[in-house]
Amino acid sequence: MLQQYDPKNEHILVYINGALLPRKEAKVSVFDSVVQGGDAVWEGLRVYNGRIFSLERHLERLQNSAHALAFRDVPDSGFITQALFKTLQANNMRDGVHIRLTLTRGEKITSGMDPRLNQAGPTLIILPEWKPPVYPPEIALITSSVRRNSPMSLDSKIHHNNLLNNILAKIEANHAGADAGIMLDKDGYVSEANGVNLFCISKNTVYTPHADSCLPGITRALVLELCRDQGIPALEKNLSITEFYTADEVFTTGTMGELTKVFEIDGRKIFNKSGISTLEKIQQGFKAQTETGGTPLPF
């Protein structure tokens, strides 16, 4: 497994609507919308060296997701920032931390789907864990038979908690002994892997699928910006799985695992014909950003 239980997290304090609760007591109601229908939005954030990395981008995506789902009485980003600071301070966490930030539609007056049953306002959950980047240096992928949602069904631009589409792809990867499952879009082009965005590099040009069916990842956006800053050609494009099999380098991006090299897809080894690693250059640039960038913690 890419992630494991860490006993260091046994005594963490979790924020739920203003209260800081020990792990065992940190619970939501059976009437909460996230239990009733996966009706929630979320972000995964990282704390490096006393700073919350890309905080503004994560809060912007959270607000946009909540707005798209017509949540009401959403706390503003200033309030959520203060709640994040308070939670990290209570846990004395300044580095090597991953935060799962969740905003549910809140508690319902009776079980049911209708958002009009939500009359108590949303539930804000901040779950910080000691969890440095967890992926191994290289991973193997398979192509899943599960297609990634297109905007025709559930728009992947909403970062919601209805994750079954991706969980089904992950189950397939587990059965195949791979680390993650590549999900194609409705037309058969590569969309993303079940929990990370995908890039390939061919002849020193970096490619990633259009963000039509994949989550527009924040790490994905940072990599595209970093390539442009470093003069590395980078394009968003429809890409078939064959273009990934035959690329010089393939890598995944995400807050949890940062930039991770892929050594194999569906049993095809990824061979670097160019002899130079553009990925290493991008990884160095990204590391430099995590060492200095982000919103400083006030404690």
**Cβ–Cβ < 8 Å for 14, 126:** yes
Binds ligand PMP by CB under 6 A, chosen from 122, 181, 254, 294: 254
User: Which positions ≥6 away from 101 have C-beta within 8 Å?
Assistant: 42, 43, 44, 45, 58, 62, 80, 84, 125, 126, 127
Q: Does residue 294 sit in helix, strand or coil?
A: coil
Least distance from ligand PMP to the Cβ atom of residue 56, Å: 13
Stretch that binds ligand PMP, among 92-100, 251-259, 277-285, 286-294 (CB under 6 A): 251-259
The number of C-alpha atoms within 13 Å of 50 and in the hemisphere containing its C-beta is 5
Least distance from ligand PMP to the Cβ atom of residue 230, Å: 19
Q: Does residue 282 sit in helix, strand or coil?
A: helix
Sites for ligand PMP among residues 255-294 (CB under 6 A) = 255
**Cβ–Cβ < 8 Å for 99, 127:** yes
| CA 13/CA 19 separation, integer angstroms | 9
Query: What stretch of H or E contains 17?
Result: none
> What string marks each residue from 124 to 163 as x (binds ligand PMP by CB under 6 A) or -?
----------------------------------------
Least distance from ligand PMP to the Cβ atom of residue 126, Å: 16
Nearer to ligand PMP, 33 or 166 (CB): 166
Nearer to ligand PMP, 122 or 195 (CB): 195
Least distance from ligand PMP to the Cβ atom of residue 293, Å: 14
Residue 171: C-alpha distances to residues 166, 167, 182, 263 (Å): 9, 6, 12, 20
Binds ligand PMP by CB under 6 A, chosen from 196, 201, 227, 259: 196
User: Which positions ≥6 away from 290 have C-beta within 8 Å?
Assistant: 46, 48, 49, 53, 258
Q: Does 63 bind ligand PMP (CB under 6 A)?
A: no
User: Which positions ≥6 away from 17 have C-beta within 8 Å?
Assistant: 123, 124
Sites for ligand PMP among residues 2-61 (CB under 6 A) = 44
Amino acid sitting at position 55 = L
**Cβ–Cβ < 8 Å for 265, 244:** yes
> What string marks each residue from 203 to 242 as x (binds ligand PMP by CB under 6 A) or -?
------------x-xxxx----------------------
Nearer to ligand PMP, 103 or 196 (CB): 196
Query: What stretch of H or E contains 247?
Result: none
Least distance from ligand PMP to the Cβ atom of residue 193, Å: 7
Least distance from ligand PMP to the Cβ atom of residue 45, Å: 8
Task: Sort strands 234-236 and 249-254 into parallel, antiparallel or unpaired.
Answer: unpaired
Binds ligand PMP by CB under 6 A, chosen from 36, 123, 166, 213: 166
Nearer to ligand PMP, 118 or 260 (CB): 260
Binds ligand PMP by CB under 6 A, chosen from 192, 212, 248, 249: 192
Least distance from ligand PMP to the Cβ atom of residue 165, Å: 9
Least distance from ligand PMP to the Cβ atom of residue 58, Å: 7
Binding site for ligand PMP (CB under 6 A): 44, 166, 192, 195-197, 215, 217-220, 253-255
